[in-house]
Amino acid sequence: MAKQSIQQVKQRFGIIGFSPDLDRAIDVALQVAPTDLSVLITGESGVGKENFPQIVHQYGKRKHGAYFAVNCGSIPEGTIDSELFGHEKGSFTGATGARKGYFEAADGGTLFLDEVGELPLPTQARLLRVLETGEFIKVGSSKVEKSNVRVVAATNLNMIQAVEQGKFREDLYYRLNSVPIRIPALRDRKEDIPLLFRKFAGDFAEKYMMPPIALTDDAREMLKNYRFPGNIRQLKNITEQISIIEQERIITPDILQKYLPMNEVGMLPVPVSQIQDANQRSFSTEREILYQVLFDMKKDMTDLKQVVKNLMESSERRDVSSEISPSIDNATVTIPVSYESSTKRISEKRDIQDATEYEDNTLSLNDVEKDMIVKALERHGGKRKFAAQDLGISERTLYRKIKEYNLE
């Protein structure tokens, strides 16, 4: 698509920037728009993904049809099927009448599924059927319905990782990902940051009827080098805050610094040393943390046993010296019979001590294992299959452990 067309799209949809990655994303959207292929738009939260389904719809052959945007992450799991596919009267509590779903209402048009990675697995199976056959069944019905809908999906999740973790169907991912469009993060298009700041500053000056703010050269460089974990949305919020709060309209680095927090979501809020072990090795899974805890526990137990051994030897020497009565009689030493019983008592005391240490160690390991199982089950909503995969054990082993620790 010609550069002139890309510029026209930017003007129509209010897209600001000249980043090659941004232009590439717009170009792909324009190329795929006349087709009926499914499109998956990916990118971090706040990068402006919502503009691209509109581009696909407005420049495609369905532009005169209906367009619906559905935020899948904001709909409760219990009602998502009804929202998408509709329901019949009496199909569940509160269903006082029949209702059309988005797939029926958007027939002949485009349906934008935002945060598609948040869909529950049963809904993913029904969505796959619609995409492959154009057929769906309303909740509480047995009648097969037909729908001719163009689906554009978006997510800020790492979908490959979600598929590997069993949170998203692999077949659905490849069905949605017929044409991928990746929207670059704001930190990857630094030259566009001053342009966006100037645009937002002008908008807020008009909105609040005050002179627009402007950056000094040093402040502009500081803004360009900030990481912006919240992307364009965060930049817009910062610009609005400065516009309202600051009396001085020329923004210096000292002023700007107050609005660029270093502990935002998506940035490290604690020193790296606090989340790495002594060997500077970061933990990528909870299982690695458990291994390291067990390793450290073993080392501590070894040190403790050495201390106990030294104390026992010292105690043994004291007991023997107190019970042995050396008697110089014709250059001989008479040792009382009680020495044997004393030695036996010391040996028995050591055996009891070792047994107690072993029992305490076993209990500690069991507590760690039980805690890991509880956390895995909570993380996956009690679904044992995914919890077992997370823990790296079989589902049968997990079931046995649940029974053993009374976690039913």
Q: What's the rounded mean pLDDT across residues 265-289?
A: 43
Q: What percent of the chain has pLDDT above 70?
A: 76
Least confident of 54-68, 180-194, 215-229, 394-408: 394-408
Least confident of 54-58, 312-316, 369-373, 404-408: 312-316
Say which residue, 400 or 230, is predicted with more confidence. Answer: 230
Give, for 153, the enclosing helix (H) or strand (E). strand 150-155
Q: What's the rounded mean pLDDT across residues 22-37?
A: 96
Per-residue pLDDT at 387: 80
Per-residue pLDDT at 215: 97
Per-residue pLDDT at 132: 95
Per-residue pLDDT at 332: 43
Q: Please say if the pLDDT value at position 271 is more than 70.
A: no
Q: Which tens digits make up the pLDDT trace of 180-192?
A: 999 999 999 999 9
Q: Please say if the pLDDT value at position 233 is more than 50.
A: yes
What's the count of helices (H) and strands (E) in the chain, helices before strands? Answer: 16, 9
Q: Please say if the pLDDT value at position 377 is more than 80.
A: yes
Q: Please say if the pLDDT value at position 81 is more than 80.
A: yes
Per-residue pLDDT at 292: 55
Per-residue pLDDT at 50: 94
Confidence of residue 267 (pLDDT cuts 50, 70, 90): low
Q: What's the rounded mean pLDDT across residues 1-20?
A: 86
Q: Please say if the pLDDT value at position 363 is more than 50.
A: no
Output the six-digit token pair for 186. Answer: 């704001």
Q: What's the rounded mean pLDDT across residues 27-36?
A: 96
Confidence of residue 316 (pLDDT cuts 50, 70, 90): low
The pTM assigned to this predicted structure is 0.63
Say which residue, 230 or 277, is predicted with more confidence. Answer: 230
The residue type of 106 is A
Q: Alpha-carbon distance 233 to 225, whole Å? A: 17
Q: Please say if the pLDDT value at position 240 is more than 80.
A: yes
Confidence of residue 296 (pLDDT cuts 50, 70, 90): low
Q: What's the rounded mean pLDDT across residues 121-150?
A: 95
Q: Alpha-carbon distance 347 to 349, whole Å? A: 5
**Angle subtended by helix axes 395-404 and 384-391, to nearest 10:** 100
Closest CA to 25 of 15, 38, 37: 15
Q: Please say if the pLDDT value at position 274 is more than 50.
A: no
Per-residue pLDDT at 25: 97
Per-residue pLDDT at 280: 41
Confidence of residue 91 (pLDDT cuts 50, 70, 90): confident
Q: What's the rounded mean pLDDT across residues 148-173?
A: 96
Q: What's the rounded mean pLDDT across residues 272-292?
A: 43
Q: What is the DSSP letter of 157?
A: S
Q: Please say if the pLDDT value at position 313 is more than 60.
A: yes
Q: Please say if the pLDDT value at position 70 is more than 70.
A: yes
Continuous H helices in 324-406: 338-379, 384-391, 395-404
CB 97 within 8 A of CB 140: no
Per-residue pLDDT at 402: 85
Confidence of residue 111 (pLDDT cuts 50, 70, 90): very high
Continuous H helices in 225-337: 231-245, 253-257, 286-323
Residue-averaged pLDDT of the chain:
82
CB 373 within 8 A of CB 406: no
Per-residue pLDDT at 261: 82
Give 154: exposed, middle or buried? Use CB within 10 Å, 0-12, 13-18, 19+: buried
CA dihedral 100, 101, 102, 107 (to 10 degrees): -60
Q: Which tens digits make up the pLDDT trace of 322-338?
A: 554 444 344 444 444 44
Helix/strand/coil for 93: coil
Q: Please say if the pLDDT value at position 98 is more than 60.
A: yes
